Each structure stands twice: as structure tokens, then as C-alpha cells.
Amino acid sequence: MKLDDLKAMIKKIGTSIPLFFIATYFFLSLIVNLFLGGNPKQSFVPIVLLILTFFLILYSSTQKPQNISQKKILFLVDFILLVNVIIFITGKVNAEGQLLKTFQENTGVNFKVLLIVFGSLLLLLRIYYRKIDFTFLNTIFTVAFFLLPLLLIPALFPTPFIDVYVILKQGIIDLSQNTDPFVRTFPDIYKGMYDYSYQQQEIKLVYWPLNLYLLYPFQMIFGDLRYAYLFFLVMSCVLFYLLTNRSKIVFYLSFILLFTNPYTFYMVKYAWIDTLAFPFFVLYFLLFKKNKYIPAFLVLGFLMSLKLYYIFLLPISILYLYNNTNSWKPSIFMGFLSIIISVLCFLPYLLTNHEALFNSIIYFKNSLPRFDSLSITGYIYHFGVNLNTLNSIISILIITFILHRILKKKRSSILFQIQDLSIVLFALFIFGKQAFGNYYYNLMFLAIIYISLIAVHEKRIEKVL
């Protein structure tokens, strides 16, 4: 076989299977579930796996599947559902907090046995009746064995041992009492365990106001802010369904992939705020795809005010809008619109306590790498070498390359936009001072949006770049 024939075959494979999705969702899911979102033993194995996954994502980002059928996608999701069940039963998410054991102790129901029995039954039916549509049964199974147990997480684990939960809860209480939540200093619940990284800085609220605003009603009404994460996850699936002309296949894909992933339990249990961003991502990409640019960039403004690294979607969005309109004027205007909305989300603290709002940036800037981070910088630091500056330069170079490629190749498809954002975020995480499972969870739900859009088929087919 000639080299050109081999390249052609690889290219054909790349456009007939959702390789980007497999790498970004499936492989990343295995890594974060296997190592529980961190690297406490400072092993090189997860770092190698992440590096390989990154290059696979980078390679697949030049391609957009054009001839993959819904049948293949559904088969792939069925397979992932089975894998997720196995990981949930045997993996570290269950073992770390004795999830299934705690469920049995509090309800008297051996949930593990039920999951094994009904999971096996579902698999046997799937094998025996190959031509039957199992989307409804799979959805019922997911509701019974994943969504309902997720609803019990706040009751089963009322006081999770993590600073993010303690700080967010107290911040909401302060907000309800008309007290500035950004002035409170919190005690170190870890007893100095991470002083080597955070340099004994004062522990204050480092999460931006919009997070508190979104969590506030759930803490006040239901008594636990973590119900917000479940609401926003379900809302994401509903929005996806509504914005794709009520596509049942899209709702099914997003629902199964979100809720059967064992790491979702970990995200909800420990109140990681990244989950709040998912409906905003769904809204942004679907509105942008429909050429509704003004509402899309309004949503982008809200998204950027949730977490700092979401701001990297702004230059990507501006370039994609330029490629779609061939005009810089509306592109720059939309960018300013997003910035204005983002600034408004910081009120009233931008006027009364602007220094506190930037505390999260200063806090992170003054911190050193974390040994247990799922990043190259964190792993190397346990040898006593701090490569943060060098790795930050590498991240900037990768981001610059992605932005240049967008402009040069005139990439305009929404699928390419998801790919490019994923690469930028991945580069920031893997070369950052710290990155944990909640960081990479962002990439996993970007992959869910990606595969869902493939399933409903884009009307405009771009030439593979």
C-alpha cells in the first residue's frame, strides 16, 4: 500500500466515525473516572493518557464526520451506557464514598444488585432483539438507576468534605443576610495540607457572583445548593431538545451521556460549579448555529462571567462570526456586547468591592502547582521543578495556532468551533498549574453537544480541511 493510499484510508476513517467525540468524551471519561479526577499518587500514567488523548483530539480536529448514520451513533451510545454501568459499579466514584453501600444503609435497598440484574437484562435484550429501538428502555433505565439516585445525593451526603461546598453555602447565606460574601475569611478545612501550593493565602470566596445568583434559590428553597446542578443538567437536555426542533434523538443522546457518566455523581456530590455552564454552552452553540448571533453573544457574556477560562470562547466566537459574515464590524460589535453583559453580571460588587472580584485571579496567580493535579506542570513540580512559565507559553502558542488556523482555513462550521474550543481548554488544563476532573468535565459535555449535532445532521456540509 502506498503512503498516499494509507493517508486516504485514515482520512476516510476519520470522517466516517466520530473520532473527536470518542477521544473527548469516552477516553477522557475513562481517565477521570479511573483516577477520580486527580493524581494523588503522582503517577505518570494519567499524564501520558492525557497527552495521547490531546494529540488524538488535535488530529481529529481537522475532520468533520460526514457519513456517519444515526444508527452508528445510537450503537456507540448503547456501548457507552454499558461501560458507564460497569464503571459505576466497580469504579472509584462508588468506592471513594461508598455510594452504593450508603444508599443501601439509608434506604434498605440493595441498589447494586438491582443495577446488575436490570443492567444485565437490558444487555441481553439488546443482544437478542437487535432490530428493536431501545431508546425508551435505556431512558427509563437511566432515570431509575442514575437520575433518581443523583436526586438523593444531597440527603445521603449532607456535608461533603470539600471547601467549594462550604464556601458556596456560606456565601449564599451571607447574600441572604445582605452581607458582602467576598469579605469573609474562611478556616482551612484541610489543616494546611495544600499550603505548599496556595502559599498560606487567606481563604476567601473566589467564585464569581453569577454562580451565587444561580445557586441561591436552590439553597434557600430546597436547603442544598447541589439541587441546582441537577436542575441545570436536566435543563440542558430540555434546551437541546427544544432548540433542535424537538429532536428526540438529541434529548436521548444528551440525557444518556450526561447522567450515566459516573463522574456526574462526583460533580454533584462535591458541588463543582462547572456544571452550571452546560445550559449556557447548549444555548450558545445552538443559537450560533441558527445564525442568531445577538442572543448567542448575550449568552456568551453570561458564560464568561461564570469562570475565567470560559473567556477564551470570545476570540474563537469573533473569528467564527467573521468567517460566517466576512465582516469585522459585526464581529467586533458582538464581542463588545458579550463583554458588557459579562461586566453587568459582576454588579453590584464591581462598584462596591471590585478588589475582591479579582481575588480569584490574584489567588491563583500567587499559587504554585498542585502535586495531585492532572496536568504536566503539576506532575513535574513534585520533582521540585516549576515549569509553569514555560508551560504557560506553550499554552499561548497552542491557542495562537488554533486562532490562526480558524482564520486561515476559514473554519465556520459549529462542529469545528466546538473542536477548537475543546483544544484551547485542553491546552490550558494540561499545561496549567492545576487541573482536576471538573476541568475536563467541560470537555466531555462539549463532546456531547458535538455528537448530538452530528446526529441531527448539519444542513451545510463543509469541505473537510
Residue 463 has a pLDDT of 37
**pLDDT tens digits for range 43-77:** 999 999 999 999 999 999 988 777 788 888 999 99
* Residues 433/369, Cβ–Cβ less than 8 Å: yes
Segment 93-113 mean pLDDT: 87
Residue 228 has a pLDDT of 97
Residue 462 has a pLDDT of 37
Which grid coordinates belong to 12?
Answer: 476516510
**pLDDT tens digits for range 186-195:** 999 999 999 9
Checking if the pLDDT of 92 tops 80, the result is yes
Q: Which amino acid is at 128?
A: Y
394: nearest Cα among 338, 432, 357: 432
Residue 127 has a pLDDT of 85
Checking if the pLDDT of 340 tops 90, the result is yes
* Residues 349/343, Cβ–Cβ less than 8 Å: no
- Rounded Cα distance, 299 and 284, in Å: 6
- Rounded Cα distance, 223 and 391, in Å: 42
- Rounded Cα distance, 428 and 309, in Å: 8
Checking if the pLDDT of 16 tops 70, the result is no
* Residues 188/179, Cβ–Cβ less than 8 Å: no
Checking if the pLDDT of 12 tops 80, the result is no
Which grid coordinates belong to 110?
Answer: 440493595
Q: Is the dihedral of CA 323, 324, 329, 332 positive or negative?
A: negative
Residue 15 has a pLDDT of 57
Residue 69 has a pLDDT of 85
Q: Which amino acid is at 262?
A: P
**pLDDT tens digits for range 148-161:** 999 999 999 999 99
215-231 b/e (C-beta count within 10 Å ≥ 16 → b): bbebbeeeebbbbbbbb
pTM, whole model, 2 decimals?
A: 0.93
Which grid coordinates belong to 436?
Answer: 482536576
Segment 288-294 mean pLDDT: 96
Residue 245 has a pLDDT of 92
* Residues 399/427, Cβ–Cβ less than 8 Å: yes
* Residues 335/317, Cβ–Cβ less than 8 Å: yes
**pLDDT tens digits for range 124-137:** 988 888 778 889 99
Tell me which DSSP letter residue 84 carries. Answer: H
pLDDT tier for residue 8 given thresholds of 50, 70 and 90: low
- Rounded Cα distance, 195 and 332, in Å: 42
| Rounded alpha-carbon distances, angstroms, from residue 37 to 27, 254, 372 | 13, 21, 9
Most confident by average pLDDT, 94-98, 152-156, 361-365? 152-156
Helix (H, G, I), strand (E, B) or coil at 288: helix
| Rounded alpha-carbon distances, angstroms, from residue 404 to 9, 429, 460 | 28, 20, 23
Q: Which residues pair with 186 in a beta bridge?
A: 203
- Rounded Cα distance, 119 and 117, in Å: 5
Which has the minimum average pLDDT: 7-11, 117-121, 351-355, 357-361? 7-11
- Rounded Cα distance, 383 and 94, in Å: 32
Percentage of the chain modeled with pLDDT above 70? 94
Residue 2 has a pLDDT of 55
**pLDDT tens digits for range 196-245:** 999 989 999 999 999 999 999 999 999 999 999 999 999 999 999 999 99
